[in-house]
Amino acid sequence: MATAVTSMMLVIGLQFVNLSPASSVTTLNVYAAISLTNALNSIKTQYQNANPSVNVVYTFGASGTLLSQIQAGAPADIFISAATDQLDVLQNSSPSRLVAGSRKTIVRNRLALIAPTTPPVSAGSAALRTINGLTNANITGIAIGDYTGTPPVVPAGDYARQVLTSRGIFTTVTPKLYRAPNVRAVLTAVENKTLVVNGVNRTIDAGFVYTTDAAISNKVRVVQTAQTTESDPIVYPLGILTRTTVLSTAQSFSTYLSGTTARNIFRDYGFILP
């Protein structure tokens, strides 16, 4: 009898175990400007530690490229661009593709001209001290984010175009400009002193990246940081997409990005708080 009672209790217990709902994980898809990669990955670790039921999945790239993917139906819940233009396109769509009231600026940045430091370094690159020095004949290759398109594919490239135009040297240096698909590709091109353009290796003497990109490399130096008045303000706006099916989670992550932990991480990586 004792054995029968024990068996019955086990059966009843197993029934309750089988009826218990399995713990679920919510996936949050965040499409973000590639210059945010390091900071957002650090923030993800902290956020998921505090919210173990959420899996944050990032897609990094040039803001214009991400916009095209979202417009084509990519499963983004949140979009963080490196300029206002891309968010404007989504917000001004009819109907708007951003959740009302969700848009906000999370950080700011600065633009810098960088040059390689690992040998061998060309004489022109070694002697470069200012942005205006790009007009010198011994500077033959300048890496820049692809500033073409409406809105521009790579905001960093468009900011650089604005800086060069403000200084009155854009037309002069245009023959030396080689466009890269995103700002991290520019950083790599300067580190390696070469960029493949249409199948051809181009020598790179310098390039334009954000100061936060320059800070993560020990293979480049900052030649000069552009003045904030020489281009549009460099801001990173965030918006929640109306297509999201995890709105409360997206709102939670958006709020977290403006909280103390995330702000400290952004600051540690050199971003400027809004």
Label residue 4 by pLDDT band (50, 70, 90). very low
Tens digit of pLDDT for each residue in 201-242?
999 999 999 999 999 999 999 999 999 999 999 999 999 999
Identify the sign of the CA torsion 222, 219, 108, 177: positive
d(C-alpha 222, C-alpha 187), whole Å: 11
33: pLDDT strictly greater than 90: yes
- How many Å apart are CA 198 and CA 70, to the nearest integer? 27
Q: What is the mean pLDDT of residues 232-255?
A: 98
Tell me if residue 106 falls in helix, strand or coil. Answer: strand
Domains and CATH numbers, the chain: 27-108+235-268 (3.40.190.10), 111-230 (3.40.190.10)
Q: How confident is the model at residue 17 (pLDDT cuts 50, 70, 90)?
A: very low
Per the CB < 8 A criterion, the answer to whether 56 and 78 are in contact is no
Query: What pLDDT digit, counting tens, does each position of 123-171 carry?
Result: 999 999 999 999 999 999 999 999 999 999 999 999 999 999 999 999 9
Rg (CA), the chain: 24
pLDDT confidence of 100, banded at 50, 70, 90?
very high
Among 2-16, 92-106, 158-172, whose mean pLDDT is lowest? 2-16
Q: Is 40's pLDDT higher than 70? A: yes
Please report, as a single letter, which amino acid is at residue 226: A
Q: What is the pTM of this model?
A: 0.91
Range with lowest mean pLDDT among 7-21, 133-147, 226-240, 249-263: 7-21
Q: Is the peptide bond before 21 cis (omega within 30 degrees of 0)?
A: no
pLDDT above 60: residue 113? yes
Contacts of 86 (CB under 8 A, 6+ apart): 63, 64, 66, 67, 79, 151, 155
| Predicted pLDDT of residue 18 | 44
Judge whether residue 8 has pLDDT over 70.
no
pLDDT at site 20? 42
* Dihedral over alpha carbons 237, 84, 111, 198 (to 10 degrees): 110
Tokens describing residue 111 = 């633009």
The reported pLDDT for the residue numbered 23 is 64
The reported pLDDT for the residue numbered 239 is 98
Return mean pLDDT, the chain. Answer: 93
What is the rounded distance in angstroms from the CA atom of residue 244 to the CA atom of residue 261? 25
